[in-house]
Chain A
């Protein structure tokens, strides 16, 4: 007799462990376990068969890999948690005795672990474990940045201490500074949720969301302890990432932080970056808006430019190489370069191998020639960041927007572009408007324009950087209705609706015919209305006819009927035709109008019918072929078909709406 196997001793049952058992095994409290899981990146698994895995009678909901939990057993943090627990017990005991002094001493000691040996942890080793290489860390930076930028904009509460917010803000600003210096911001998108940014750092695309600068409402059930655990981890991560990024472009980390400027709302301007090699000369430069207070000092400007140029050279030589290539194409042949050569096929017939290419326009140079001024109704922070990241050196803004601007004087002659987001005020109001506008130092009429300056709405900046070219400013002039702002992250796929392509190029055959038919009917309507004016008597019947016909049309469109019905349809239309002729005779009207319409639409109708027939045929074939599939494959096929149909239905709806809109616009 074979050995009787006990249930739950082998196989899947040993590979999985429920959460309760995991917590028990680690001898932790549930919140500590949660923390540990979040930091170590342990997540539940879905066993193939829940029944086989669960050992208890009641259904367990969360399963972890046993191996994962075993791996947690050796975690140094575990000991810290336990120490913390012990300390908390001590403190609570002291408080229970009424010994406040003792409690505060214990707490104080807890905050100074290196002096007292009391619990305190760092997450350095966890980060190194989870991201063995820097590239791994970059890959996971999306959530990190979104979270930290959100927390940087949260109001401080008991759950979210002000210190945490300040640290998040600093880290975010430091990260932005890196993006500015390295010009690695690629795309940005104004959505209803906030502003999306995409940067490309060391070949890795990173996408994050920054909320608009408003007080964030917290509604519903949000556990800030969980978010806080994540933020703690992310802060450490971004700290290390920032360090690595700064050193990679030859900057010292952390950058110098000017508390005074920050208090005055300078944000990005509160940091002064120092180069590692320049620091040896004792030469400290604030890279961002160093000349802010004094206006453009050419000497300083030149130095700064040189510095930035130098840093950039170090960071990406390749980019620079292409730059040079663009600049002096004539000399290019002589110089040996380590850039990729372009392979041109000599003889036809070979395969084309794709090569990476650098875009012709360097993102670092897009705004470098211009001086911007931000009106006080525009969002300063995102605009400043984007403009700087795309090479702009001189940005001025109204003093109410905070410290650190290039100029607060709107009338500065060096300004080339002004970003405005206010409606155009009527002329009558404008005369009196001067008095009200007393917030700014200089009083200007609301519609006053400085000559030689381009006035645009903020969307112009976003659309320009996304397309890497200057959009025509007329489209974005103040008060103009803006062109739609499109997401730069959508990759156009074949067969999907694309709002940038004209409708005619993407609609299906059936839709096209339908549209043309409608067009024809509309034309006819117009004609008939002319006729109506002449003959009032026949109008009622005419309308009825039309309705009849249309019904017939739709009947034909709507479904896949059998062939027999199709035939009937034809018959029906023939009889209708006869009927119409008869009625026209009775009315004493010539059948010509109808005939004319027929001549126009007949071809279309026939085309439509042919299409329908073809579709029906295809459907039947499909049905037959499906019959030959095994059950499993058939289900798979139907699923795929379902999603495809759903997508195409959505696209069709969009096309329909657009057609309608276009028609309205034309009318």
Chain B
């Protein structure tokens, strides 16, 4: 719309310039242009009104509507429709003399307006009418800024075309413009010498005269060059004269009646006021208060008081949430006047003071003041509270289940000691005589004699109860006797002893040995010789060495009662008899393939049952009831069936190095001792892992033994110089577990070069046991 409006404005102004009447309007325009924009449109709107009036008379409905739109939009000063139209028609009537030239409208019909004409009608050469217009007087305010005296109308052609003519062109009325007279050369020379004022040396193109500038024009040029305003004005920025507000006019500018809005209260204002009122009512706008007071009020507002737990709903506590533990209540010692026994003694006080604050059990020392007024402030109260705060937010909380039970309820119900009796408790007899360690002990099946073998290479037989040595033989001067074992049958009195690679079988002389018994024993040993000579044993291919050589040891030893010597391939460490007494097994851990050998006494036969063993054989034993054979390697104990010749079971005690094992006389349980200080009880039916592991020794366990005569006892011997006696009852009921109760620690043997007790043996009937010590003694415990 805007460009359109300006367009119209321009159009409307064209006629204005013609009449003086409109000059005032023009002046206003200039003045108003300095004031605000809205008002700028005021006069032009009037013009528009005029225009619309003229158009309205033409009866063009469309434009009128358009204009109304414009008016509404542009200013609120526009009168309402009806008034406006009336006014317009009035104006038109009043200002009938207004001359309007519009491009599309012929001026002719306006002739009858009776207005003076600015042209004459003349006859032209053809006799037709010709309008001759008056010279326009180019006054200052005239719009015709181009009319400046006679103007050459030849257009844009070089003046040289007219060189041969006396004139140089034509003015607007077709009259010749005569060439100004030019002086001769001398004149021009003089001219050049006397430069007139305002001489520029240029020639005016239009007139052909030399272009001279007047004083004013020169001044103007100078000013332009200096960057000043072109024409000197006293004050380029005069104060605005507010005609409409400050100057009270005697007459109204417009005769229009006062619009309604001037005397009706404004709805808009009322709206604004209401807005403020509402804000004040709602407290959004506050009356001014000094800041201190305001602050206090705000604080009071801050404390909101209402019942936070109005509709409380108990929630199930989060199981993961652990409430902070409360601080313990103060005890007697925190009192300002505690009972005197709570006061620290001098030493306690010193100890507390010297201790590091973190090491102190309590962070305070009890103190006594005899009057309340003497109690001082507690120095570290703030710190203590701070510590508590830190604990509350930084300490990880862990729920610890405290067992609030009597510790004694943890202890198992044990059979009373009287039920466990009898067991050996004290040393009864000490057998001294061996030089160096006693390596092995054995009590004969009747329980009268004790055989020992030691580092001095001798085998000695003692009276068990008295400790008197009754028989002795030196088997080897270099190597120790590693093992002595009685033949288990009571119908004979045969002792087997191992020293080095030899196993000797002997019939020692003893008071209890009747000649008949002696004879039967010798017979049993001698039977095999006949067998050997009978040639039953020739299966060996030539060139292959037999596993063992059975021979007589020589007359000197034979006189002593040593009757057979069996030589195997490597040092024998262990001898174990079969329960019938016809077989015995020897183990020589260093002998690779032939480490385990089974010897048959009646046939003087030696067999090597295993071609290959996994691991070093440590010890071997026959099952007390069934035809089974147990071999212990370092880690495992293997059980073989002797009849079917197959592996039955592998027991894994979990020990690093098995030293010895023994089979319960019932045949279903096994105890294992190991060099890594463990004693293990195996229930063979239950599992091949241990049922109980007992670790009561500080050193390696050398030997373990069950009591074979019906008492539920077993014992182990250790390098820490002690024997431990256990009560181990195997119930008849298969479902019950065996009960194992440690009953006694027997100390007495001295530890010599880290070796303590090397061997033990139980009495066949009584709860007595014999131990062999590295200190050169054997002891009988009962």
Are the C-beta atoms of A220 and B383 separated by less than 8 Å?
yes
Are the C-beta atoms of B412 and A628 separated by less than 8 Å?
yes
Minimal beta-carbon separation of B291 from chain A (angstroms): 8
- The verdict on B559 contacting chain A, using a C-beta distance below 8 Å, is no
Which of chain A's residues have a CB closer than 8 A to the CB of B378? 192-194, 211-212
- The verdict on B133 contacting chain A, using a C-beta distance below 8 Å, is no
List the one stretch of B328-336, B522-530, B568-576 in contact with chain A. Answer: B328-336
Minimal beta-carbon separation of A492 from chain B (angstroms): 11
The residue from A192, A217, A244, A482 contacting B382, defined by CB atoms under 8 A apart: A217
In angstroms, Cα B304 to Cα A243, docked, is 10
Minimal beta-carbon separation of B35 from chain A (angstroms): 36
The residue from B313, B326, B340 contacting A484, defined by CB atoms under 8 A apart: B340
Are the C-beta atoms of A43 and B393 separated by less than 8 Å?
yes
In angstroms, Cα B378 to Cα A212, docked, is 8
- The verdict on A247 contacting chain B, using a C-beta distance below 8 Å, is yes
List the one stretch of A270-278, A285-293, A311-319, A618-626 in contact with chain B. Answer: A618-626
Given A193-B378, A211-B377, A624-B741, A46-B398 contact (CB < 8 Å): yes
Which of chain B's residues have a CB closer than 8 A to the CB of A219? 379-380, 382-383
Task: For chain B, residues 376 to 395, give those with C-beta under 8 angstroms from any C-beta of chain A.
Answer: 376-386, 388-390, 392-395
Are the C-beta atoms of B339 and A499 separated by less than 8 Å?
yes
Which of chain A's residues have a CB closer than 8 A to the CB of B342? 499, 654
Given A38-B393, A223-B386, A459-B372, A485-B331 contact (CB < 8 Å): no
In angstroms, Cα B393 to Cα A45, docked, is 11
- The verdict on B553 contacting chain A, using a C-beta distance below 8 Å, is no
Given A143-B392, A222-B382, A654-B342, A624-B332 contact (CB < 8 Å): no
Are the C-beta atoms of B389 and A625 separated by less than 8 Å?
no
Are the C-beta atoms of A192 and B308 separated by less than 8 Å?
no
- The verdict on B323 contacting chain A, using a C-beta distance below 8 Å, is yes
- The verdict on B162 contacting chain A, using a C-beta distance below 8 Å, is no
Are the C-beta atoms of B395 and A484 separated by less than 8 Å?
no
Which of chain B's residues have a CB closer than 8 A to the CB of A421? 371-373
- The verdict on A214 contacting chain B, using a C-beta distance below 8 Å, is yes
Are the C-beta atoms of A193 and B373 separated by less than 8 Å?
no
Are the C-beta atoms of A627 and B382 separated by less than 8 Å?
no
Task: For chain A, residues 100 to 129, give those with C-beta under 8 angstroms from any C-beta of chain B.
Answer: 111-112, 115, 122, 124, 127-128
Are the C-beta atoms of B390 and A192 separated by less than 8 Å?
no
In angstroms, Cα B696 to Cα A112, docked, is 78
- The verdict on A366 contacting chain B, using a C-beta distance below 8 Å, is no
Which of chain A's residues have a CB closer than 8 A to the CB of B396? 43-46, 62-63
Are the C-beta atoms of B372 and A239 separated by less than 8 Å?
no
Minimal beta-carbon separation of B328 from chain A (angstroms): 9
Minimal beta-carbon separation of B85 from chain A (angstroms): 54
Are the C-beta atoms of B394 and A43 separated by less than 8 Å?
yes
The residue from A67, A133, A196, A215 contacting B330, defined by CB atoms under 8 A apart: A196
Which of chain B's residues have a CB closer than 8 A to the CB of A422? 373
The residue from B284, B379, B740 contacting A115, defined by CB atoms under 8 A apart: B284
The residue from B324, B372, B383, B414 contacting A625, defined by CB atoms under 8 A apart: B414
Which of chain B's residues have a CB closer than 8 A to the CB of A43? 324, 392-397
- The verdict on A486 contacting chain B, using a C-beta distance below 8 Å, is yes
- In the complex, residue of chain A having the shortest beta-carbon distance to the beta carbon of B286: A115
- In the complex, residue of chain B having the shortest beta-carbon distance to the beta carbon of A198: B329
In angstroms, Cα B379 to Cα A37, docked, is 29
Task: For chain A, residues 209 to 243, give those with C-beta under 8 angstroms from any C-beta of chain B.
Answer: 211-212, 214-220, 222-223, 226-227, 230, 239-240, 243
Are the C-beta atoms of A624 and B414 separated by less than 8 Å?
yes
Task: For chain B, residues 187 to 213, give those with C-beta under 8 angstroms from any C-beta of chain A.
Answer: none
Are the C-beta atoms of A216 and B696 separated by less than 8 Å?
no
B347-386 interface bits toward A, Cβ cutoff 8 Å, 1 = contact, 0 = none: 0000000000000000010110111110111111111111
Are the C-beta atoms of A482 and B377 separated by less than 8 Å?
no
Which of chain B's residues have a CB closer than 8 A to the CB of A139? 323
Which of chain A's residues have a CB closer than 8 A to the CB of B243? none
The residue from B306, B390, B411 contacting A226, defined by CB atoms under 8 A apart: B390
Which of chain A's residues have a CB closer than 8 A to the CB of B740? 628
Which of chain A's residues have a CB closer than 8 A to the CB of B412? 625, 628-629
Given A45-B397, A482-B370, A192-B389 contact (CB < 8 Å): no
Of the listed residues B312, B329, B338, the one surrounded by the most CB atoms of chain A closer than 10 A to its CB is: B329
Which of chain A's residues have a CB closer than 8 A to the CB of B389? 147, 226-227, 230
Which of chain A's residues have a CB closer than 8 A to the CB of B308? 124, 127-128, 240, 243-244
Are the C-beta atoms of A190 and B336 separated by less than 8 Å?
yes
In angstroms, Cα B397 to Cα A45, docked, is 6
- The verdict on A597 contacting chain B, using a C-beta distance below 8 Å, is no
Are the C-beta atoms of A377 and B312 separated by less than 8 Å?
no
In angstroms, Cα B15 to Cα A543, docked, is 154
Minimal beta-carbon separation of B424 from chain A (angstroms): 16
In angstroms, Cα B397 to Cα A189, docked, is 30
Which of chain B's residues have a CB closer than 8 A to the CB of A223? 386
- The verdict on A575 contacting chain B, using a C-beta distance below 8 Å, is no
The residue from A122, A207, A622 contacting B411, defined by CB atoms under 8 A apart: A622
In angstroms, Cα B371 to Cα A43, docked, is 43
List the one stretch of A73-81, A395-403, A605-613, A636-644 in contact with chain B. Answer: A636-644
Minimal beta-carbon separation of B537 from chain A (angstroms): 53
Which of chain B's residues have a CB closer than 8 A to the CB of A193? 330, 334, 364, 378, 381, 384
Which of chain B's residues have a CB closer than 8 A to the CB of A45? 396-398
Task: For chain A, residues 39 to 97, give those with C-beta under 8 angstroms from any C-beta of chain B.
Answer: 43-46, 62-63, 65, 67
- The verdict on B743 contacting chain A, using a C-beta distance below 8 Å, is yes
Are the C-beta atoms of A490 and B386 separated by less than 8 Å?
no
In angstroms, Cα B386 to Cα A115, docked, is 37
- The verdict on B249 contacting chain A, using a C-beta distance below 8 Å, is no
Minimal beta-carbon separation of B225 from chain A (angstroms): 46
The residue from A487, A644, A654 contacting B329, defined by CB atoms under 8 A apart: A487
Are the C-beta atoms of A490 and B329 separated by less than 8 Å?
yes
- The verdict on B303 contacting chain A, using a C-beta distance below 8 Å, is yes
The residue from A65, A226, A624 contacting B742, defined by CB atoms under 8 A apart: A624
Are the C-beta atoms of A637 and B394 separated by less than 8 Å?
no
- The verdict on B128 contacting chain A, using a C-beta distance below 8 Å, is no
Task: For chain A, residues 179 to 201, give those with C-beta under 8 angstroms from any C-beta of chain B.
Answer: 189-194, 196, 198
Minimal beta-carbon separation of B248 from chain A (angstroms): 44
Are the C-beta atoms of B382 and A44 separated by less than 8 Å?
no
Minimal beta-carbon separation of A114 from chain B (angstroms): 9
Which of chain A's residues have a CB closer than 8 A to the CB of B376? 212, 214
Given A192-B378, A215-B377, A485-B743 contact (CB < 8 Å): no
Given A43-B393, A124-B308, A146-B403 contact (CB < 8 Å): no
In angstroms, Cα B381 to Cα A146, docked, is 10
- The verdict on B62 contacting chain A, using a C-beta distance below 8 Å, is no
Are the C-beta atoms of A111 and B407 separated by less than 8 Å?
no
- The verdict on B469 contacting chain A, using a C-beta distance below 8 Å, is no
- The verdict on A633 contacting chain B, using a C-beta distance below 8 Å, is yes
- The verdict on A300 contacting chain B, using a C-beta distance below 8 Å, is no
Minimal beta-carbon separation of A522 from chain B (angstroms): 20
Task: For chain B, residues 300 to 319, give those with C-beta under 8 angstroms from any C-beta of chain A.
Answer: 303-309, 312-315
In angstroms, Cα B564 to Cα A334, docked, is 113
- The verdict on A295 contacting chain B, using a C-beta distance below 8 Å, is no
Are the C-beta atoms of A661 and B394 separated by less than 8 Å?
no
Which of chain A's residues have a CB closer than 8 A to the CB of B411? 622, 625-626, 628-629, 637
In angstroms, Cα B443 to Cα A605, docked, is 46
In angstroms, Cα B377 to Cα A154, docked, is 12
The residue from A62, A147, A625 contacting B394, defined by CB atoms under 8 A apart: A62
- The verdict on A489 contacting chain B, using a C-beta distance below 8 Å, is yes
The contact sample of 24 A-B pairs, CB cut-off 8 A, is A43-B324, A43-B396, A43-B397, A46-B396, A46-B397, A62-B394, A132-B315, A140-B324, A143-B392, A150-B382, A163-B299, A193-B330, A222-B382, A222-B383, A243-B308, A254-B305, A423-B371, A485-B335, A489-B331, A499-B341, A622-B411, A628-B411, A640-B407, A654-B341
Known A240-B307, A622-B411; further 8 A-B contacts with Cβ < 8 A: A43-B395, A191-B335, A214-B376, A244-B308, A422-B373, A457-B372, A484-B339, A636-B410
8 nearest interchain CB pairs?
A: A214-B377, A489-B329, A640-B407, A657-B341, A46-B396, A658-B341, A499-B339, A625-B411
